[in-house]
């Protein structure tokens, strides 16, 4: 392609990624977005103005050298693109799919001021998928330092910390409580957003192999081993145990059959592949009328999984009518905390949104199973100190919603199990670990923490950023450049 | 890999496996459980640790073949292995010298009651044990229970061995016959048995501990599938338990929650049995009985 002038570049429209249409995709768990072809990627890369002082990088929590990797894509040098990408971000196939780019890198793109920003996330995903397909890791393990680091938890925070430490030549062991590494990437985020085998397993295995990282699954820290036992054997510990403890509303009826946490619903579906029952052994039930409480990404994932299960089961049963999935949220559409794209996808697929609605009681059928939900309508009051308008119940507005499944997606807290016998580790009253925001250092010498276990439930990329910052500090500490 | 080192058939439907799991064996205590996963297609199911050998790095599990996974496990042989063994999970039994105690084991519940009785005996308690099953063929470990008990009563529902009674009958007799002398009771078995054991001991106001075996997925406190209603609020059996004060448990809710996936379980075991038979027929022809 001949070099384009700036004007010509500006005329290229933002390239759309091929996707499965809503009617088709709601009947399967396959990935919705199909990814750029090389031609589409190169066309999109042409749009980048190669700013001398790129603002996009400021919006990236791990400071990927965005214009450089995009330039490599533009000229078609994919190996170079992978190297540039992986010098900062080791898991681009994952980040390219789940980062909220509209609020990060893409929100700072200069093109976004007048038109649409460069599709940095889609390009990142393209580079990541290329690396996986070619099994190109792009970085090598540094000379061995002889220092041993234990990373607890193999979610986004632990993975990014482990991978960086591996590159620095440290001897890393990851302890994971489930039988598969990946944390929320495997049990939480559904297959249709983040393929488990093709992307997560491949990305983790490639990185672990290249960097000599040992992954011990089935190890529940707090039970199988304690933090203090790890401390005796390792030179440093990073806690990336996330926030996996589900929150239920304190209303009557939450223990009826059919009422569950989003964690349970999603774990049965994603980790245990319950959507393929009985080929896989873990059953998962889906109601004919499902209510998901909450409107974050986890709520959208739950609702969209429920829709797909309903379709799959209806197909098997010769078609069922009247199936509905509701998102019940106490604020309005303007306050929806989910990523815009997910909210949009859920709507396209047929999720019904009940805004300004809050459950007050779950109703049983007399045999221990949920048959409905008593709800109250809400209005928004004055903005609070954080600027969020708090919902207030409207008097005499109660009504019944007929549902036979209720999924609570109201956020999660850190699991206290991991802190068994680790009394020196200071925690907040919310159960999160007290840690320095820049370095990740906790109140116990030799222990760092980052990701949701420090911040409470947040995003994949912020956890990855925290893992990276902690790795840098652990490295300097282990080299003796910094005291505790 | 979690290899099976030893297999014993305790009854037609009750099997014992000794499995290599050094990280669990190192820490295991009476009252704790593990989560097992057979293979990539499997489900995660909780099983109580019946025994462990920390030197050999093994744990012993005993299970009754009631569903797809347990039937499949029953067919596993020495040399086969599990995809995952996770644990030890849950709180260990609180063992103290209390004086006179009763240990009740119903059916496959004899397995988890055994290490508890053994520890209680070792701690200096006078241990009265009651073990029972539907029929003689389902009884096991009478000798082992005998060895760790000061008194042992054996019952069968149909009278094919020992006393013809439910385990709750001798339990009630002891409480009536020795008023105020029993310090604490442990009762482990099917949920219905534990419910009736709780009802039996309640009028005597003797502290009674049950070990709940609810539906679980992860077993580490992250899903809440195992939650149980108690007088102290909803609890997660996997992290708050598995032992609970029997007099505080909402048994109706527990039984209803445990039955939630029954139709799926039945479909799954039936499908697997048929598939398994098909495979056999393919290999050995139609000469199967």
Q: Residues B152-161: pLDDT tens digits? A: 999 999 999 9
Nearest to B43 among A177, A178, A282 (CB): A282
User: Which ipTM was obtained for this model?
Assistant: 0.93
Nearest 5°: the CA angle A334, A338, A339 is 100
Going by C-alpha positions, the residue among A270, A82, A107 that lies closest to residue A178 is A270
pLDDT band at B289 (very low <50, low <70, confident <90, very high): very low
CB contact under 8 A, B86 and A367: no
Mutate to test the interface with A, among B223, B241, B264 (most CBs of A within 10 A): B223
Structure token pair of residue A89: 């971000």
Using the Cα atoms of residue A342, residue A347, residue A353 and residue A356 in order, give the sign of their dihedral. Answer: positive
- Cross-chain Cβ contact A220/B267 below 8 Å: no
Range 3-62 of B in CB contact (< 8 A) with A: 23-24, 27, 37-38, 41-44
pLDDT > 90: percent of chain A: 83
Distance CA(B265)–CA(B258), nearest Å, equals 11
**How sure is the predictor about A316, in pLDDT bands with cuts at 50, 70 and 90?**
low
- On whether any CB of chain B is under 8 Å from the CB of A196, the answer is no
pTM here is 0.94
| Tens digits of residue pLDDT in B37-66 | 999 999 999 999 999 999 999 999 999 998
Rounded to whole angstroms, the Cα distance separating A427 from A39 reads 50
Q: How far is CA A217 from CA A179, A254, A451, B257, B287, in A?
A: 5, 32, 20, 29, 44
pLDDT of residue A322: 75
Confirm or reject contact between A20 and chain B (CB < 8 A): no
Q: Do A219 and B23 touch (CB under 8 A)?
A: yes
Is B267 touching A (CB cutoff 8 A)? yes
In this prediction, residue B282 has a pLDDT band, given cuts at 50, 70 and 90, of low
Span B138-181, pLDDT tens digits: 999 999 999 999 999 999 999 999 999 999 999 999 999 999 99
Which residues lie closer than 8 Å to A319 by C-beta, 6 or more apart? none
Chain A residue closest in CA terms to B263? A283
Q: Which residues in A lie closer than 8 A to residue B234 (C-beta atoms)?
A: 248, 254-255
What is the pLDDT, as a whole number, of residue A4? 86
Q: What is the mean pLDDT of chain B?
A: 93
Q: How far is A258 from chain B, CA to nearest CA, in Å?
A: 8
Is 70 exceeded by the pLDDT of residue A317?
A: no
Helices (H), A283-432: 297-316, 340-349
pLDDT the model gives residue A7: 87
Of B84, B224, B256, the CB nearest to A368: B256
Residues of B in contact with A279 (CB under 8 A): 41
DSSP letter string, A268-291: IIIIS-GGGTTTSS------SEEE
A278 preceded by cis ω (within 30°)? yes
- Report pLDDT digits (tens) over A245-269: 998 999 999 999 999 999 999 999 9
Q: What number is the average pLDDT over the span A381-404?
A: 91
Q: What is the pLDDT of residue B288?
A: 45
Structure tokens at A427: 């925690």
CB atoms within 10 A of CB A250: 8
Instruction: Name all contacts of A205-210 with Cβ < 8 Å and 24+ positions apart.
Output: A206/A131, A206/A132, A206/A135, A206/A137, A207/A90, A207/A91, A207/A137, A207/A159, A207/A163, A207/A166, A208/A166, A210/A137, A210/A139, A210/A140, A210/A141, A210/A166
User: Is the omega angle on the peptide bond into residue B242 within 30 degrees of 0, that is, cis?
Assistant: yes
- Å from B229 to nearest chain A CA? 7
pLDDT given at position B287:
47
Mean pLDDT of the region B73-79: 95
Exposure string for A355-391, b = 16+ CB within 10 A, e = fewer: bbbbbebbbbeeebbbbbbbbbbbebeeeeeeeeeeb
On chain B, the residues whose CB falls within 8 A of the CB of A283 are: 43, 261, 264-265, 268
A278–B88 C-beta distance less than 8 A: no
Is the pLDDT score of A201 beyond 50? yes
pLDDT of A334 strictly over 60? yes
* pLDDT at position B281: 53
Distance from CA of B146 to the nearest CA of A (A): 31
Task: For residue A460, name the pLDDT band (cuts at 50, 70, 90).
Answer: confident
> Model confidence over A123-182: pLDDT tens digits?
999 999 999 998 766 677 889 999 999 999 999 999 999 999 999 999 999 999 999 999
> Which of A255, A279, A368 lies nearest to residue B234, judging by beta carbons?
A255
Confidence at residue A40, expressed as pLDDT on a 0 to 100 scale: 96
R_g of chain A, CA atoms, integer Å: 23
Instruction: Identify the pLDDT of residue A341.
Output: 86
Contact A281 B268 (CB under 8 A): yes
Q: Is the pLDDT of residue A54 over 90?
A: yes
Q: Is pLDDT at B279 greater than 60 in this prediction?
A: no
Q: Which helix (H) or strand (E) holds B268?
A: helix B262-284
Torsion of CA B144, B57, B109, B88, to 10 degrees: 140
Read off the pLDDT of each residue in B61-84 and give the average, rounded to a whole number.
Answer: 95
Instruction: Give contacts of B83 with chain A, Cβ < 8 Å.
Output: 179
Q: Which helix (H) or strand (E) holds A360?
A: strand A357-364
User: Which has the higher per-residue pLDDT, A5 or A69?
Assistant: A69
Residue A35 has phi, psi (to 5 degrees) of 95, 155
**Is B43 in Cβ contact with A257 (below 8 Å)?**
no
How close B49 gets to chain A, by Cα (Å)? 14
Give the three-class secondary structure for B109.
helix
pLDDT reported for residue A251: 95
Show residues of chain B in contact with A217, CB under 8 Å: 84
Task: Express each pLDDT in B94-116 by its tens digit.
Answer: 999 999 999 999 999 999 999 99
Q: What is the pLDDT of residues A86-124, one digit of tens each?
A: 888 888 999 999 888 988 999 999 999 989 999 999 999
According to DSSP, the residues that pair with B229 across neighbouring strands are B234
Q: Which helix (H) or strand (E) holds A259?
A: strand A259-261
pLDDT on residue B254: 96
């Amino acid at each position: 392609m001949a070099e384009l002038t700036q004007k010509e570049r500006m005329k290229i429209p933002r390239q759309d990624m091929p996707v499965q249409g809503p009617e088709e995709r709601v009947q399967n768990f396959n990935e919705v977005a199909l990814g750029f072809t090389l031609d589409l990627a190169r066309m999109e890369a042409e749009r980048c103005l190669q700013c001398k002082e790129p603002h996009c990088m400021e919006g990236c929590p791990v400071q990927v050298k965005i214009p450089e990797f995009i330039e490599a894509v533009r000229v078609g040098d994919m190996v170079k693109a992978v190297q540039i990408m992986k010098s900062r971000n080791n898991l681009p196939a994952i980040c390219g799919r789940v980062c909220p780019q509209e609020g990060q890198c893409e929100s700072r793109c200069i093109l976004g001021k007048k038109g649409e920003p460069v599709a940095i996330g889609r390009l990142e995903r393209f580079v990541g998928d290329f690396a996986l397909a070619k099994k190109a890791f792009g970085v090598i393990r540094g000379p061995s330092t002889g220092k041993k680091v234990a990373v607890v938890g193999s979610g986004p925070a632990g993975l990014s910390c482990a991978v960086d430490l591996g590159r620095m030549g440290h001897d890393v062991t990851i302890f994971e409580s489930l039988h598969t590494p990946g944390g929320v990437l495997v049990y939480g985020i559904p297959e249709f957003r983040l393929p488990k085998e093709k992307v997560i397993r491949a990305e983790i295995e490639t990185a672990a192999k290249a960097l000599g990282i040992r992954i011990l699954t089935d190890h529940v820290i707090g039970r199988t081993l304690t933090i203090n036992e790890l401390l005796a054997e390792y030179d440093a510990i990073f806690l990336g145990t996330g926030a996996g403890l589900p929150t239920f509303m304190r209303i009557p009826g939450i223990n009826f059959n059919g009422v569950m946490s989003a964690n349970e619903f999603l774990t049965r579906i994603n980790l245990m592949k319950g959507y393929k029952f009985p080929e896989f052994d873990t059953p998962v039930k889906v109601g004919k009328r499902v209510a998901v409480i909450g409107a974050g990404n986890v709520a959208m994932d739950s609702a969209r999984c429920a829709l797909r299960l309903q379709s799959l089961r209806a197909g098997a049963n010769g078609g069922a009518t009247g199936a509905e999935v509701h998102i019940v949220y106490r604020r309005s559409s303007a306050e929806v905390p989910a990523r815009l794209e997910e909210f949009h996808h859920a709507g396209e697929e047929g999720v019904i949104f009940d805004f300004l609605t809050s459950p007050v009681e779950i109703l049983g059928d007399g045999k221990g199973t949920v048959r409905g939900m008593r709800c109250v309508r809400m209005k928004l009051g004055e903005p609070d100190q954080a600027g969020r308008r708090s919902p207030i119940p409207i008097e005499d507005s109660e009504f019944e919603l007929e549902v036979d499944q209720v999924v609570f997606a109201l956020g999660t807290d850190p699991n206290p199990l991991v802190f068994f016998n680790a009394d020196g580790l200071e925690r907040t009253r919310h159960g999160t670990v007290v840690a320095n925001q820049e370095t990740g250092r906790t109140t116990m010498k030799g222990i760092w923490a980052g990701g949701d276990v420090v911040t409470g439930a947040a995003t994949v990329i912020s956890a990855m950023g925290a893992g990276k910052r902690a790795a840098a500090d652990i490295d300097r500490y282990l080299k003796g450049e910094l005291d505790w | 890999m979690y290899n099976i080192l030893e297999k014993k058939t305790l009854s037609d439907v009750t099997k014992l496996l000794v499995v290599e799991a050094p990280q669990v064996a190192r820490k295991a205590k009476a009252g704790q459980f593990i989560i097992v996963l057979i293979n990539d297609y499997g489900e995660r199911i909780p099983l109580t640790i019946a025994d462990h050998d920390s030197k050999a790095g093994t744990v012993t599990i005993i299970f009754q073949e009631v569903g797809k996974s347990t039937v499949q496990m029953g067919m596993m042989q020495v040399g086969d292995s599990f995809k995952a063994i996770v644990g030890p999970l849950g709180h260990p039994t609180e063992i103290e010298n209390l004086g006179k105690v009763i240990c009740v084991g119903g059916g496959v519940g004899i397995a988890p009651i055994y290490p508890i009785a053994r520890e209680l005996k070792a701690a200096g308690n006078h241990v009265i044990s009651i073990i029972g099953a539907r029929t003689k063929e389902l009884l096991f470990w009478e000798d082992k229970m005998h060895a760790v008990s000061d008194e042992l009563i054996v019952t069968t529902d149909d009278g094919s061995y020992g006393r013809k009674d439910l385990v709750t009958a001798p339990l009630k007799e002891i409480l009536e016959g020795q008023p105020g002398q029993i310090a604490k009771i442990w009762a482990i078995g099917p949920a219905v048995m534990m419910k009736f054991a709780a009802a039996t001991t309640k009028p005597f106001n003797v502290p009674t501990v049950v070990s709940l075996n609810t539906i679980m997925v992860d077993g580490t406190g992250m899903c809440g599938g195992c939650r149980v209603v108690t007088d102290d609020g909803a609890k997660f059996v996997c992290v708050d338990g598995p032992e609970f004060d029997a007099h505080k448990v909402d048994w109706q809710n527990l039984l209803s929650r445990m039955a939630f996936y029954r139709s799926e379980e039945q479909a799954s075991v039936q499908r697997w049995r048929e598939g398994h038979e098909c495979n056999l027929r393919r290999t050995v022809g139609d000469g199967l009985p």
